Amino acid sequence: MSLRDNIRIVEPYVPGEQPQGDVIKLNTNESPFPPSPEVVKAIMNIDTDNLRKYPSFVCTELKNAIMQNYDVAEDEIFLGNGSDEVLALCFMTFFNSDKAVLFPDITYSFYPVWCSLYGIPYEQVPLKEDFTISKTDYCRSNGGVVIANPNAPTGILLSSEDVEYIVRYNKDSVVIIDEAYVDFGGESVVPLIHKYNNLVVVHTYSKSRNLAGIRVGYAMMCSELNAALEAVKNSFNSYTLNTVSQAAAAAAAADKAYFKKCTSEIKANRAYTVSELDRLGFKTLPSAANFIFSTHPAYSAKDIFEYLKSKNIYVRYFNKPRISDYLRITIGTGAEMSTLIAALEEYIK
């Protein structure tokens, strides 16, 4: 046996490009707006002497802020370094059988990576021709279910009724609903955690709270599931959230007015962009997220992607089956979206 035989080899998740300089960055679904002014105040008021100490592992201030926004108890909230870490720990904790975990064939591409990393059997369930989820496809024996809602990269929302249908059927396995984008047009199913003890709902501060840089995510579930998840986390790293991130996230959660202002503007910019793309002959899937998924029947998505890149406008192109003719476009400011439309108009004409 050689050294290489002892090294784990996995195919990693590939994030979107992170261009530097004067570019319009519409490829990673970040917010185009700065954090709440209350976040800035909270960071400025941190006692830096406390940074020599370990951060609070109970995160009381942040949990209290989350409790103000959702009807949940402290022992129903789990916190982590971004929703990616939260989801990874959920996979490690809840998907512990020899049955396959089910998730769509077109969805967040980290899901199969975690399954491969942790040795979890999985099956990718094909979306329908219109890229929607068929709820009945998840009503069979499984080791768990994961659904991003709204889905990524399509942006399509599964109704709360259909989500509940899936959760209700799978009472013997954990159903994870990844609601990273729900604040841009969906209805959260968090209230259902008090009705079903097999439901985990995951949120993030990276999108609608404009804080991708601080890496804070959280999940809500019944206390029994949460206790199991905490045990796994504390066997790995008890101090997952640093002091600065806790203060910033708590301030963001408390500023409901700024949250509403930013999400409303993104919705308006999304509507404008879809309308303009329609005018240019694009076909765009119905989106409830802070991005859209669009194709043009007469032009190659890859060619458009490369052209926009030459103009310092970055969107996301996936060279994958079924979606290689589509572009995922993050919704930015009004000025950014106008510049995008002008560049596309130039390309087409």
Distance CA 189, CA 270 (A): 23
Distance CA 179, CA 124 (A): 19
Beta bridge partner(s), residue 123: 102
Establish how many alpha carbons lie within 13 A of residue 15's alpha carbon, considering only the half-sphere containing its beta carbon. 7
Whether 17 has a pLDDT exceeding 80, the answer reads no
pLDDT by residue (tens digit) across 257-311? 999 999 999 999 999 999 999 999 999 999 999 999 999 999 999 999 999 999 9
Contact 133, 108 (CB under 8 A): no
Architecture of domain 17-34+257-348: Alpha-Beta Complex (3.90)
pLDDT at residue number 80:
95
- Residue 106 three-state SS: coil
Beta bridge partner(s), residue 241: none
Where do we find the tokens 């995951």? 202
Residues in CB range of 207: below 8 A, 6 or more apart: 29, 30, 31, 180, 181, 183, 184, 290
As a CATH number, domain 37-254 is: 3.40.640.10
Tell me the whole-structure pTM to 2 decimals.
0.95
What is 148-210 written as a DSSP string? Answer: ESS-TTT-PPPPHHHHHHHHHHTTTS-EEEE-TTGGGT----GGGGGT-TTEEEEEESSSTTS
Whether 96 has a pLDDT exceeding 80, the answer reads yes
Distance CA 114, CA 176 (A): 14
pLDDT by residue (tens digit) across 119-160? 999 999 999 999 999 999 999 999 999 999 999 999 999 999
pLDDT by residue (tens digit) across 38-75? 999 999 999 999 999 988 888 899 999 999 999 999 99
- Residue 24 three-state SS: strand
**Where do the structural domains in the chain lie, given as residue ranges?**
17-34+257-348, 37-254
pLDDT by residue (tens digit) across 192-242? 999 999 999 999 999 999 999 999 999 999 999 999 999 999 998 887 899
Distance CA 7, CA 28 (A): 31
